[in-house]
Each structure stands twice: as structure tokens, then as C-alpha cells.
Amino acid sequence: AQSVTQLDSHVSVSEGTPVLLRCNYSSSYSPSLFWYVQHPNKGLQLLLKYTSAATLVKGINGFEAEFKKSETSFHLTKPSAHMSDAAEYFCVVRTNAGGTSYGKLTFGQGTILTVHP
């Protein structure tokens, strides 16, 4: 079984300050991990993904995430928030379970990021 916990339902930052969105996962097998972003009334857009290569993953719009197996974490960070970053962010896990290669995604509950001027 696999699961994802996003530790904060809401995060509020000021423009120009760092962003940290926390995610912990549980997986019986080697996972692939993703962060997706959803702007209001828009579809889900992939920010970045980890698939067992480098543990520090860089994504679009200056976001990055670090896979830490010992902590079962995949936190999303950005050095300096921009107003356009305000959106809902989803941490997602996908597991290759015992030879099954297809990728059903399991989503966290989402973190709403608010950016203040």
C-alpha cells in the first residue's frame, strides 16, 4: 500500500521569502514521487518528479525537491516566492508494486499556498 501525507493544508508566505511545502510518503516498494500544481480553475501541471535518479530534483519555475529515503520525505522548496506561485500543490506517489508497472497515482490532500505582497 502507498500513501502520502502533506503536513500543512495551508502555507502563507510573503513575496520574496522562501517556500517550504512538506510531504511524507509511505510505500512498500521503490516509489516515484511527483509534485503537481493546480491554479484556480486550471488543470494539474507537473512541477517535478523523482524516479530514482538524483535525489535533488529541479523543476519548473524555480522549484526543487529533495528525496530523503531515511525520512520518507519529499519536501518542495523555492528560494523566493512570487505572487504567481499562489496555487494548490499536490504531492503524489506512484509505486511499482511487485512487477506491476502501471502507475496509479496516489495524491496527498493538497497544500494551498498563499503569497502576500
Q: Given the rule CB under 8 A, which residues bind other proteins?
A: 32, 34, 36, 42-46, 49, 51-52, 90, 94, 96, 101-110
Number of Cβ within a 10 Å radius of residue 115? 19
CB of 30 to other proteins, least distance (A): 8
Nearest CB to other proteins, comparing residues 51 and 72: 51
Taking the least distance from each CB to other proteins, the nearer of 13 and 94 is 94
- What would the DSSP string read from start to end of the chain? -EEEEES-SEEEEETTS-EEE-EEEEESS-EEEEEEEE-TTS-EEEEEEE-SS-SEEE-GGG-EEEEETTTTEEEEEESS--GGG-EEEEEEEEE-BTTB----EEE---EEEEEE-
| Rounded least distance, CB 63 to other proteins, Å | 15
Q: What is the largest CA-CA distance in the chain?
A: 49
CB 17 → other proteins: shortest distance, Å?
A: 28
69 vs 116, beta carbon nearer other proteins: 69
Q: Which is nearer to other proteins, 17 or 52 (CB)?
A: 52
Least CB distance from residue 61 to other proteins, whole Å?
16
